[in-house]
Amino acid sequence: MSEDYTAGRGSPWEYDPGPPRNRRWPRLFSETPNYRALGKAVMGREKFRWHFGPMYYRGRLRDDDVKVLVIGQEGAQDESLSHRSFTGGTGGRMQHFLNHIGITYSYLFLNTFVYPIFGQYSGSKIAWLAQNADSPIRQHRHKILDYVLARNDVHLVVAVGRAAKESVRTWVESHGGSCPNGISDLSTCDSHVLGANTKVLGVRHPGGASSGSISAIKADFRRAIRLVHDWAAADANWLPVDPGAMRKAASAYQYSRAPIPFRDFPFGTPWRLGRGSTSSNRKDDQRAIQIFSAGGKYNNNGHSLSYSDAANGSSSGYSDEPGDYPYEPPVASYRDYDRGPDRRFARLLMGGTSGFGWPDFAASGADAHASFGHGAIYRGRPRSATAIVLADQQSHDDLFMARALTGEAGQRFQSFLRAMGLTRSYLILRVLPIDTLDLSTTTKNALVDNPQVRKVYGEIVRAAARANNRSKVLLAMGTRARRLVQHANPTGLPVVELRSWNQSGTSASWQAALDQLAALTYGKDLSNPSFSFDGSRSQIPRYDLPYGVPRWQGSSGDRSRKPDRSGNPTPDYFKLIMPRWAFDLDPEPLSSSEAQAVVNAPT
């Protein structure tokens, strides 16, 4: 049941909209240095796992929301999929730590590096990149950390692991303070230079358990818990607990993990991510990340999988702007990201509105694993749409993108939308909110014919149709969408039917649909649409996708695959694959200032 994968995480319709656009956060994050070229210049080789982009933060970015700042070393593959920091095993350990001291909301997670690293944090070269005053990486991190202080009254800073401890020490020193005991005891640092109420401590990295130091890690976390309780006992006003939370006794602390709240993730993120432990693994020489269900195995251990192809893709339709890298979010247009639906639509899309919950899909024959959730159901703008699109699922990309119709079919359909005069005023609704690609026609029809499914889609369409007073049209793309539209058009919008991209005769069907649309009245974004489809592929707009998604995602055709296990499709594994053209890119050259910065780096 879905409750098994949502317990302790709040409601699935809670989510993080991304950095506030009226603050410096998006611009600060967009100023990320050239990690690849810096790593090669200093280390002599690729030091950073750049392929799936950076992960900047997890938690609160609104003013005065942060009481506890947690700083780590860098993220791993779960963080690469969620585009948020501390969402894997270490994130679960730290979430439990925060829960125990009564901080369940007012926290922010950041890292020493916004990209994962190859190997360990050891040696003078990687330390130079992380900590030297000349390093662009340290300078960028300090801008972010200082902005946290500027917008919040931070009471506690927790450094997780050696790299983070060194980062906190250099941060304190950059403000004129010192750490008399170095990184061995950060609590002795002159933390008042960061803020009048700020205290600092460090803990061992939970990842060290793999090297046999689990007893030392547990003891160190218990020490840190006692220290927090001692500080709180000495000053009752120092670190008040969050509303609805409680601070448990230090003696009651057990080293454990807790699930990550839904409100820390973009809307639609697979529920599998953030359940307190690692949920994915890297594949194909860094080119792919494989996610596994609660019924799967890390690295598919013991499960023999067969993927159909390497999903090389092509750059046809890819576009960016000067200064952008394919493996990072937009740099030039750094405010281009989808903040998600408003509260009413978020709840409705997730089946959380009273009377409009999703049915038990398994009871109708669906084999989708419940741990992946119901997230990838929409793309676009429910409140301003003039075209509401019901579209059959046509790839597995939506699972990773947390948005509907984002693979090959969606990229082709993006060109169709422009041909009908739309660049923003659309809402795409996937039929259905779970994976159904491998199901039989009979089972798919049974799912679509479920009265509750019809009821939910009817309510979503009704709400979108009444959200603004512009003229609207309803499109039904694909066999299941055309079947559903008969029961999901309560306001009687004009309907235009067209085939799915993966059906035969699609080009003719789409052109015929455009001919119909040319004769209809609906609100348009373009004054002179062509109403002509040339079959081209377009990149999914960044303003349709959650914050943090790299440029290459939503381009280059279908970027995900579902394998066979023992000759049959398995609901337990999916792989997100970087296109070959992007994987083969060389690092961009250093800027003149970055080149000058590394002149004195260790050789």
Q: What is the pLDDT of residues 531-563, one digit of tens each?
A: 999 999 999 999 999 999 999 999 999 999 999
Residues 111 and 117: their CA atoms lie apart, in Å, by 12
561-576 tens-digit pLDDT: 999 998 899 999 999 9
What is the pLDDT at residue 276? 86
pLDDT in tens, 381-390: 999 999 999 9
Confidence of residue 1 (pLDDT cuts 50, 70, 90): very low
CA torsion angle for 563, 568, 572, 573 (degrees, to 10)? 0
Yes or no: say if 553 and 542 are a contact pair by the CB < 8 Å rule: no
SS3 65: coil
8, 95 in Cβ contact below 8 A? no
Question: Beta 199-203 vs 156-160: how paired, if at all?
Answer: parallel
264 vs 291: CA distance, rounded Å: 19
Q: Which long-range contacts (CB under 8 A, 24 or more apart) does 193-197 make?
A: 194/149, 194/154, 194/157, 195/149, 195/153, 195/154, 195/155, 197/153, 197/154, 197/155, 197/238
Omega into 186 within 30° of 0, i.e. cis? no
Give the number of C-alpha atoms closer than 13 A to the C-alpha of residue 495, restricted to the C-beta side: 18
List, as one string, the DSSP characters of 101-112.
TT-SSSEEEEES
The SS3 of residue 251 is: helix
Three-state DSSP class for residue 60: coil
Inform me whether the pLDDT recorded for 312 exceeds 50. yes
Give percent of the chain with pLDDT exceeding 70. 99
Mean residue pLDDT of the chain comes to 96
Nearest-5° Cα angle at 335, 333 to 338: 120
pLDDT for the residue numbered 2 = 57
The residue-averaged pLDDT of 445-472 equals 97
Beta bridge partners of 389: 428, 475
Query: Could you give all domains of the chain from N- to C-terminal order, each with its CATH number?
Result: 31-248 (3.40.470.10), 350-536 (3.40.470.10)
Residue pLDDT, tens place only, 92-103: 999 999 999 999
- What six digits make up the tokens of 370? 């419940």
| 358 pLDDT more than 80 | yes
- Cα(386)–Cα(470) distance, rounded to whole angstroms? 7
Q: What is the pLDDT of residue 3?
A: 64
Q: CA triplet 53, 204, 160: central angle to 5 degrees? A: 40
Residue with tokens 């994987």: 583
What confidence tens digit (pLDDT) does each residue in 481-521 have?
A: 999 999 999 999 999 999 999 999 999 999 999 999 999 99
Contact 166, 130 (CB under 8 A): yes
What CA–CA distances, in Å, run from 354 to 191, 241, 377, 449, 461? 49, 32, 19, 21, 16
